[in-house]
Amino acid sequence: MTRLARRAAALLLAFAARAGAQTASGTASAAPVISAPAAVPLMVGERLDYDVRFGPLKVGRARMEVTGIDTVRGIDAWHTVFTVRGGTFFYRVNDVLESWIDTSHFASLRFHQHLAEGSRERDYRYEIFPDSARYVPLGKPSEPSVPDPLDDASFLYFVRTVPLEVGKEYSFDRYFRPDRNPVRLIVLRRERVTVPAGTFDAIVVRPIIKTRGIFSEGGQAQIWLSDDARRMVLQLKSNLSFGSLNLYLTSYASGKEPAHP
């Protein structure tokens, strides 16, 4: 593999680890206005597995899962985990995003991000307080947040609850770091799509976020959500300066019990 290809694969995995984040990086003020999310399509034990590809080259695997219901400061919270693992002989990635989401109000309470890319490791931890619209980075003073905040990973789950209508654009101001708002979501079309996990009817959306990553305006990213009550992420594609980033659903488990207690 050439040096350029190795760098592309490494960047792909780094971007993929933030895909949920940045699809989720927006916040909630909608156009049209959405006063509350639709029924939450989450089940404890839900697991979605993906191949991560740079063009035709498979460079890793990713997983989204709802591991259970925990208690955060006395509040019941869904615990979700998004992981990306893979790379090449010269460069490995092992990234994990964990989110704890209030089961009653669908707001973030805690967010952890572990990034292990090549020889570099970074950890980010935030305690998020919806009632006071503040968040606290580990070891630092609290900072202003927004009402009903969402972090990177939880926003991807929130998008699955939005009653998407083809041809409409939604704008969200709920990302817990206010300077990243708003996130825009354009509903492009419905279509039939085939991925390794099967063939599905899908809703195709384009997220646009204030970032240089895969959801920047220039990346023309598209996400395929299953056109059913589950709203599973089936496929993701984005154009980057060095090639195309693709995630494809390879298998899924729906879980056995409702994610809300």
Distance between CA atoms of residues 170 and 149, nearest Å? 17
Helix and strand element counts for the chain (H, E):
3, 16
Q: Could you report the per-residue pLDDT of 128-146, keeping only the tens digit for each?
A: 999 999 999 999 999 999 9
Helix (H) or strand (E) holding 5: helix 3-17
Helix (H) or strand (E) holding 92: strand 92-102
Percent of the chain with pLDDT over 90: 42
Q: Could you report the per-residue pLDDT of 62-101, keeping only the tens digit for each?
A: 899 999 999 999 999 999 998 888 766 666 667 788 999 9
Q: Could you report the per-residue pLDDT of 162-187, keeping only the tens digit for each?
A: 889 999 999 999 989 998 888 889 99
DSSP letter for each residue of 93-150: EEEEEEEEEETTT--EEEEEEEEEETTEEEEEEEEEETTTTEEEETTS--EE--SS-B
Put simply, whether the predicted model's pTM sits higher than 0.85 gets the answer: no
Q: Per DSSP, what are the bridge partners of residue 172? A: 183
To the nearest 10°, report the CA torsion of 48, 54, 59, 60: -20
Q: What pLDDT shows up at residue 155?
A: 81
Taking alpha carbons only, the member of 223, 210, 144 closest to residue 183 is 210
Q: Both tokens of residue 207?
A: 């997220």
Distance between CA atoms of residues 49 and 174, nearest Å? 27
